[in-house]
Amino acid sequence: MSQEGSDRYRRAYAGQIARLADIRDGRIEQAFAAVPREAFLPPPPWTIISMGVAMRTPELAEIYNNVLVAIDPERGINNGEPALHAAWIDAVRPQPGETVIHVGAGTGYYTAILAMLVQPNGRVGAFEYETDLAAQAAQNLTAYPNVTVHAASAFGRVLPNADIVYVNAGVVAPDVQWLRALNPGGRLIFPWQPHKGWGPALLVARRAGGFGAQSLMTVGFISCSGTKERISVGRLPTEADLSAVRSIWIRDDRSPDSTAVAVYDDVWFSSEEIAA
């Protein structure tokens, strides 16, 4: 495959992903067109998964579709659905010069896209708990000098201040340190999975009055390693509860009240709206 052919596949793929995700920021399409997906995957033949069906293929064109691509099938680790990530990236609005913390970076594909979007002068700190994946990500990302890869969990540790915390692993509740790391106006997106394997993607924004939250879509992600949060209410939140969440509070800042939807050791979810 010539470089020209690879570039052509990427441009068509980026346009497809932009349409599927209905993105507002054209720079995201440009980033998807620029970053070679195959550079962050195992060697071919690849295992692609679409609509729950897996297929082996050596064809480069096949990975330039809105499909999952397996990284380690035995561990259930894949490269992620491009349109979902494009929609999430559009929701958190990375801007030049901002700092991003990427939790669950895998082998670094979406880290590279985030890194492009915060250039110039922006930085990405990528955390990956699986040491082999972190080593592969560090190698894959050598062409992105504004990325630092950490072979560690981003759960339960103090993090540097950031404008965006982008979480690609399911959690029962967000780590309190993710909230504390957010600069004023900062954004956090994560898969809230109080039920095993599924739940809403929550977009959180740090406002003057607290952490506003909104549900974007139902997703299923592999669980975040090293999580410690436990639910401390008498029942799991229902689907209606999940969609009712409008804010998240740190328990050290405010105790749970009658607006609480779910309560955890360090944080709680509320139906109270936070003014913009």
98-120 per-position pLDDT tens digit: 999 999 999 999 999 999 999 99
Neighbouring C-beta atoms of residue 168, cutoff 10 Å: 22
Q: Does residue 227 lie in a domain region?
A: yes
Q: Does residue 107 lie in a domain region?
A: yes
Kindly tell me the number of DSSP H helices and DSSP E strands found in the chain. Answer: 8, 14
- Is the distance from CB of 79 to CB of 97 less than 8 angstroms? no
Q: Does residue 28 lie in a domain region?
A: no
Nearest-angstrom CA–CA distance, 169 and 229: 14
Q: Is 199 left (phi over 0), alpha (psi -120 to 50) or beta?
A: left
Range of 206's domain? 73-270
- Is the distance from CB of 113 to CB of 36 less than 8 angstroms? no
Neighbouring C-beta atoms of residue 32, cutoff 10 Å: 29
* pTM strictly above 0.75: yes
Q: Does residue 188 lie in a domain region?
A: yes
Model confidence pLDDT, tens digit, residues 135-171: 999 999 999 999 999 999 999 899 999 999 999 988 8
Average pLDDT, the chain: 91
Q: Does residue 54 lie in a domain region?
A: no
What total number of domains does the chain contain?
A: 1
H or E element that contains 148 = strand 147-150
Q: Does residue 66 lie in a domain region?
A: no
pLDDT over 90 (residue 131): yes
The CATH number of residue 234's host domain is: 3.40.50.150
pLDDT at 133: 97
Rg (CA), the chain: 18
Q: Does residue 167 lie in a domain region?
A: yes
Nearest-angstrom CA–CA distance, 149 and 124: 8
Nearest-angstrom CA–CA distance, 204 and 53: 33
**pLDDT grade, residue 6 (50/70/90)?**
confident
Q: Does residue 60 lie in a domain region?
A: no
**pLDDT grade, residue 3 (50/70/90)?**
low
**pLDDT grade, residue 273 (50/70/90)?**
very high
